[in-house]
Structure 1
């Protein structure tokens, strides 16, 4: 028995060598959650939240069925919508919160993690999307978890998200291992330089595409994802503004 553990054990107090603390300051991780180990959480955590769909997401185009599928809930204590984060094995590894308060007036974050997870190790939605990805022969890669839920609500269930627009090495490897076409469908405000940096991370570029607003320039708002304006706008971008990376 090789005793390999897929998940790490987590200790709240980590002992660090004081001599190495300076290096940690000047050499930050890829993102703030990379320091958190991937751990399997107790499913009972979700009982802390009201397990019902909400009108906030529904009004944004996320169906009640899809909200139930992705176990969207609500934290009365924290006044936030809760989004459980599961890995490709379907294990609960984190919970993300979206406040319903006026976050700008309160000078607080719109999103936060009641139960943090190393998002650079996760392709959100892969546990549910895998059979659809294999059937379609392609995977749509969004930035946000909500974009995956919107995509599912429109019938495009071959979708995952990376929790931002910076792909980690782990996420790139997981995408390439799927053996299908990879379509990066990031938000409009990703710059040309950022697109170049992200696409350069892939080795299997013959299967790599991007949805980039060119022919339909002005269709999306500055912070919109390709799925934010409904199925007609998405199909227009998917059919007319999908480009193979060379």
Structure 2
């Protein structure tokens, strides 16, 4: 009898325990998450955070991205990293630099390539003539008018050589002109000295002292008597030379000598 009762109690207790176990299993732990198969698409909820993150990164400016990268690379967690400012370069800067470089290159070019400065045209200087033309005349009119027979013998009314035009080389002297003109007309000339110290003593055989102690020959150039040796006085083109015989040291012919 007792054994039957004990068996029934044990059976009831076991049933109660099974009931409690089943009840606990129905209200308890989470169900295992089913593993999706490879053919099933991923839920859209999983892709959403990634898309949002990519959009957020794309919307960030380069400066913000650099700041994030610097923050991620910082060894101290949570440390504030100041982003390094970027210098914005203008598109016009390379052109300006090219312009400056071109100007510097133009300045550095050798001066030899520069156009030479133009000098004003110089007026050509007239060349000295190779020959000159002069005139010469010879007379002993004072002695002829004074009645000296010698003057009448060696002249035509006191004229030994009428005005004669002679072409001479440039640089010729009064004595050179006398020699050439007298030589062409056959008039003898005597002189003393040489070089630039020639002194004419007589022309056509009438000479110094023949008609008095103060008589002799003098010459003038363009109407003016020259107190210089005839071989030292150079001629210019167009000069007129006159040789005249004086009886009193030039006073009777307008060229007195003291």
The reply to whether TM is greater than 0.5 is no
Query: Normalized per residue, which structure has more helix?
Result: 2
TM-score by length of 1: 0.22
Query: Which is greater in Rg?
Result: 2
